[in-house]
Amino acid sequence: MKTQATRVGSVSDHRSTADSELGAKVVSQPAPSPHAGGQPILSARGVRKIYRTGSHDVEALRGVDLDIGAGELMMVMGPSGNGKTTLLNCLSGLDEIDEGTVHVDGEEIHSMADAKRTQHRAERMGFVFQSFNLIPVFSAIENVEIPLLVGGATAKVARVKARDMLDRVGLGDRGGHRPTELSGGEQQRVAIARALVSEPAIVWADEPTGNLDSHTAEAVLELLGEVHDAGQTLVIVTHDRSIGARGQRLVQVRDGSIAYDGPPTILENA
């Protein structure tokens, strides 16, 4: 299938070559997942989310089923207010769900105790938000250290890793700056450093370039591209069709449901 990752695809190609070398002894193998080699890293079933706000309830997710393959680059698009952010928050365990299950690496995250879910998230997931969401009273390097400290790293190890990560995003000399002393693009690079520092299996980016000019947005996308090249799973919500077209898989969210799930080629002629 076209949606298959180039890199992940080549891995599974190797596997099928190896299999065929075994010749006729290989009896029909189960078909590989359409989206990546092997098991999905995340598997959501029947996920419902209802916001209860005084006078009326909003059903923001209406029973979503979704598998995300390890190493996949998935783009999420859809009109504003249709549930993209809710989807990310519910699949990552940032927010509670009303019904359904979300398994990450085989573990159901919504049935974990809060403390365990927080730790699981700190170790396995990274987040990049449109509004950066840095902690204003912390310096850049302190912001980057947070997931490591939550994950149980010592202060010393966290400092070294955070400094390396800031170097990687080109902000090695800005570690002592508070977020307000940085430009929007620099703040988002700090946020990316924070998202990546614990080498999470899944990185969620919710309109990561929404507040950036096109030049800065490109630099941020390049950094996120490196995440994918490193084999991490990357889910990006975007309004921008030209960004959406760069994924291997496009999921369109409409009114709390998945209206389309397939190759992003449909963006070309729409």
Q: Which residues bind ligand ADP (CB under 6 A)?
A: 51, 53, 58, 60, 78, 80-86
Query: Which residue, 4 or 82, is less far from Mg ion as judged by CB?
Result: 82
Residues 6+ apart with CB under 8 A from 218: none
Sign of the four-CA dihedral 245, 246, 251, 255: negative
Nearer to ligand ADP, 96 or 213 (CB): 96
Q: Which of residues 55-84 bind Mg ion (CB under 5 A)?
A: 84
Which is closer to Mg ion, CB of 140 or CB of 237? 237
Least distance CB 90 / ligand ADP (angstroms): 9
Pick between residue 96 and residue 108 the one whose CB is nearest to Mg ion: 96
* Shortest reach from residue 72's CB to ligand ADP, in Å: 20
- Give dist(CA 17, CA 206) in Å, integer: 38
Which residues neighbour 77 within 8 Å (Cβ) at sequence distance 6 or greater? Answer: 84, 237, 238, 239, 241, 244, 250, 251, 252, 253
Answer for which of 3, 4, 33, 85 binds Mg ion (CB under 5 A) is: 85
Under 8 Å between Cβ of 118 and 65: no
Residue 86 contact among Mg ion, ligand ADP, none, beta carbon within 5 to 8 Å by kind: ligand ADP
Q: Which two structure tokens, joined as six digits, stand for 234? A: 């990357």
Tokens of 32: 């590989």
Residue 139 binding target from ligand ADP, Mg ion, none, CB below 5 to 8 Å by type: none
Shortest Å, Cβ 81 to Mg ion? 8
Residue 91 CA: distances (Å) to CA of 47, 94, 128: 9, 8, 15
- Residue placing its CB nearer to Mg ion in the complex, 83 or 247: 83
Q: Which residues bind Mg ion (CB under 5 A)?
A: 84-85
